Structure formats: C-alpha cells, structure tokens
Amino acid sequence: MIQFKSTLTAYSISHFIVDFACAFLLIGSIAKQQHEITYLFLLYNFAAFALQMPLGVIADRQKNPVSFAVLGCLLIVPAYFLTSVPLLCVILAGLGNALFHIGGGTKTLRRYLGQSAPLGIFIAPGALGIFLGSSSFILSQPLTYFPVFLLIAAAFLLYTADGRSAFLNEQAPEQRSRNSSNVPLELVKWNPGKVLMPLGCFFLVVLLRSFTGTIMTFPWKSTTVTGALLVTAVILGKALGGFFADKIGVIRTTILSLSIASVLFLFSSVSIAGLIAVFLFNMTMPITLWAAADLMKKHEGFSFGLLTFALFIGYSIPTALDTGKLFLPWFYMLLALVSFVFLMFGLVWRKANGR
C-alpha cells in the first residue's frame, strides 16, 4: 500500500509539471510569436487530447504503461528548443502531453481498481499546472528553460517510483492477476444495452463539462486572487469528488453535486455561490472516468482516451464558433441539469444491467 501511495504521488506531481510546462510553452513562447494562434492551440489540443484514444488502445496491450508517461515527459523537452518552428513545437508538446496522460491514467485505473478517489488525485493537479504555467506573474520571470529541468525530473521520478520492471517488460502486480494486455479491443462485447448506451452518456457528460469550462466566466473573476480561487474550486472538486463517490456512492454524489450546482449557478454573479457551483460541478469528473473504465474492464487506456476525446470536442465547439467567454448563469444551470440527466441515466442503466 505504501508503494501504491508513493506511485500515485509521483504521477500527480508529474501531472502538474507536464501541464505547467505545456501551458508555459504555449502561452509564454508560441502565443507571443504568433499573431494568429487559434489554429496552433487547436492543433495542440487535438494532439494532447484526441490522440489519447488511439494511444489508449496501444497502452492496453502493454504490461506496464509507465513507459508512456516517461516518454511523454521527455518528448516535451525538445519542443522548448523548436519554438521557431511553431507547428512542430505544438505537435511535440501535444503528443508528449497525450502520452503522459494515457500512461498515467491507465496506470491509475489499473492500480486502483474500483476506486474513484485516486483518479481525482491524479487529474486535479493538472488544473493548477495550467493556471500557473499561463499566469502573467510566472511568464514575466526569467524561467525560459526551467520547465525543461522539471520535465526531466518528472521522468526520473516516475521511473524510480514505478520501478525498473516497467522498462524490463515485466508484469506489474496488478497485471499479474488480470493479464489484461492479452485481450484485444475487437473482442470486447459491444452490447448496446450494457455498454454503448451508458458509455455514450458518460461521453456526453464529459463533453458538456469541457464545453462549459471553456465558455464559463464570472464578473467577479477580475484579479489574480479571484482567478486562483476559481482554479482552487476546480482542483478541489475533482480531487474530492472521488472521495465522496467512494464513501457515499456515485449516484448519491451525482445527485448532491449536480443538483445543488445547477441552483447555485443561477446566483453565480455572487462569488461564493459561483465558487461552490464550480466546485460541485467538477466533482463528477472522477466518477465518469471510473464508470467508463468499469464498463470496459481490461481496456482502461481506451476508456480513458475516449473521454479525453470528448474533452477535445467540448473545447473545440466554442473555439470553432469563436464564442469566447460568456457569463450566462441560466445556461450554466441548464448544462448542469442536462449533465445530471445523462450521468444519472448512464449510472442507473449500468447498474440495472449488472455492470
């Protein structure tokens, strides 16, 4: 158990470093050099999120996906020396991000079977990394290549935390009992009633959460302090949502979090109401990851990548429409309610069909 905890800590710290390094690179270097950066950001997000789905299929065939995470950290390093070639730079950074996430996500799902809390702990630090990596204070400091050293340190941390067995093609403890790498994706029974229906619901929930997070803004978010408070609400929601789900159940957590969040969104012009609403809205993140992986046992990488593809779509819609940030409390409430319906339907349908 001690080894498991240290491994989760290593992946969580590395997640912060990877997202910090990518945000620092894109905002601090690429954005400053380009007059039109929308397509570069879209390309980066495609590489970072959409590509996790095919990479997940490959990861499911591996005995230990830590090599994906380590390679992801190291692949971002050369991107820092290729800022004069922005197209190649964002592709390398995005692919490195994707490799790390699919490696870390698959590892966490396999190691902590049936638990939501570790997923929240692994995912949550990414939001802090993006916030700090793109903050004006950090960008104003002479730290141009400092993230490079952090990335190398993260790769070493993952290697030492997970052990040399990952690189010697030996089976990890959780894999010896499950032998999941021997089950090809094409042999999964895609029963519409038991798998596709609830999986589609979880996909839509993630898409809606991503879309909402992309367009969401508040009138009181006007300083670095309020921005930090908002990011803190996101981080705590993702981190604590899994704990609540493991303690009181996924259905109760969904009912409490999204029903209260939908009401508070109507009053989100008040900072405390908006912060609590964002906190509650993000609590379902580890639930969707756990539920999708539980539906697709032995294919954790693909299930993780499928939901990150939903993230990419949710981000791309407002980007393609050029909507920008919008303060629409009634719309936030509606999106929270629709998310509630889809998530509850998926969870109940899954349970009714014995999944």
Q: pLDDT of 134-188, one tens digit each?
A: 886 666 666 778 899 999 999 999 988 875 544 444 344 444 334 444 455 554 5
Cα distance from N-terminal residue to C-terminal residue, the chain? 27
pLDDT of residue 35: 58
User: Alpha-carbon distance 117 to 304, whole Å?
Assistant: 15
pLDDT of residue 323: 82
pLDDT of 133 strictly over 80 = yes
Residue 190 — very low, low, confident or very high, per pLDDT cuts 50/70/90? Answer: low
pLDDT of residue 168: 44
pLDDT of residue 351: 78
| Average pLDDT for 319-335 | 90
What residue ranges define each of the domains in the chain, with the CATH number in brackets?
2-168 (1.20.1250.20), 186-352 (1.20.1250.20)
pLDDT of residue 352: 74
Could you tell me the pTM of the whole model? 0.89
| Average pLDDT for 224-246 | 94
CB neighbours (10 Å) of residue 85? Answer: 12
pLDDT of 305 strictly over 70 = yes
pLDDT of residue 34: 62
pLDDT of 271 strictly over 80 = yes
User: In terms of pLDDT, which residue wins out, 187 or 273?
Assistant: 273
Tell me if 18 sits within 8 A of 24, measured CB to CB: no
Q: For residue 20, with 0-12 CB atoms within 10 Å meaning exposed, 13-18 middle and 19 or more buried, which class applies? A: buried
Establish how many alpha carbons lie within 13 A of residue 269's alpha carbon, considering only the half-sphere containing its beta carbon.
5
User: In terms of pLDDT, which residue wins out, 17 or 353?
Assistant: 17
Torsion of Cα atoms, 241 then 210 then 11 then 6, to 10°: 0
